[in-house]
Amino acid sequence: MKRISLGILFSAAVIFSSCRNESETAGERVDEHTNQTQIDSLAQEEQRQPQEIRVEIESKSDSDISGTAVFTEENGEVTMRAELSGLTEGTHAIHLHESADCSAEDGTSAGGHWNPTFEDHGEWGDEDGYHKGDIGNFDADAEGNATVTFSTDEWCIGCEDDTKNIIGTAVVVHDGVDDYTSQPSGDAGTRIGCGEVTE
């Protein structure tokens, strides 16, 4: 009787310890996988830079505007260089809006200003807040041409940080001027150009 009990206990102990070993092994595999994933994402992070995307700006609201906006990322900073033509001479606003959708004839499909940090509209860098899409105003010359350059470390191209990743937004050019004050969009008027920022 006693011998049988010990035998059962021994078997139970063997079963228990073998289960335990299996789960430890499985646990190690998970850890190895996690480490490998971390290594892979670090490698991708390094490969990610420098990045460049080219955005075609199309005419909206029957404007004559055309052009491109090229975004490059290098050393943690994104630079936008937009070359535009077909504008009226003078000052115009340019922003990143929240949706890479320029399908509407008046550009309203691009939505409001890109504002992933839920701030008020304002001039870039204003201590009272500004949208991550608040690039600001630029001037077109007498021929209706303009080159706009803008650099910031508050954007990235395709990184994991949703408060920085510009992929999925749209470049919108306005007929009017951003007053940097009116909410929610600076009262910049008609949308005359739009380009989808996609990879």
Decide which of Zn ion, Cu ion, none touches 92; Cβ closer than 5 to 8 Å per partner kind: none
Q: Return the number of the residue (12 or 104) whose C-beta is nearest Cu ion.
A: 104
Cα–Cα dist 168/197, whole Å = 6
**Residue 95 engages Cu ion in binding (rule: CB under 5 A):** yes
Determine the straight-line distance between the first and last CA of the chain, rounded to whole angstroms: 75
Cα–Cα dist 105/101, whole Å = 11
**Residue 172 engages Cu ion in binding (rule: CB under 5 A):** yes
Decide which of Zn ion, Cu ion, none touches 134; Cβ closer than 5 to 8 Å per partner kind: Zn ion
Task: Supply the minimum distance, in Å, between the C-beta of residue 96 and Zn ion.
Answer: 9
Q: Return the number of the residue (157 or 172) whose C-beta is nearest Cu ion.
A: 172
Residues near Zn ion, by CB under 5 A: 113, 121, 131, 134
Decide which of Zn ion, Cu ion, none touches 78; Cβ closer than 5 to 8 Å per partner kind: none
Decide which of Cu ion, Zn ion, none touches 157; Cβ closer than 5 to 8 Å per partner kind: none
Cα–Cα dist 133/135, whole Å = 6
Look up tokens 């190690």; give the residue: 28
Task: Supply the minimum distance, in Å, between the C-beta of residue 125 and Zn ion.
Answer: 13
Q: Distances from the Cα of 168 to the Cαs of 31, 163, 165, 181, 196, in angstroms? A: 34, 12, 8, 26, 7
CA dihedral 172, 173, 176, 181 (to 10 degrees): 50
Task: Supply the minimum distance, in Å, between the C-beta of residue 178 and Cu ion.
Answer: 8
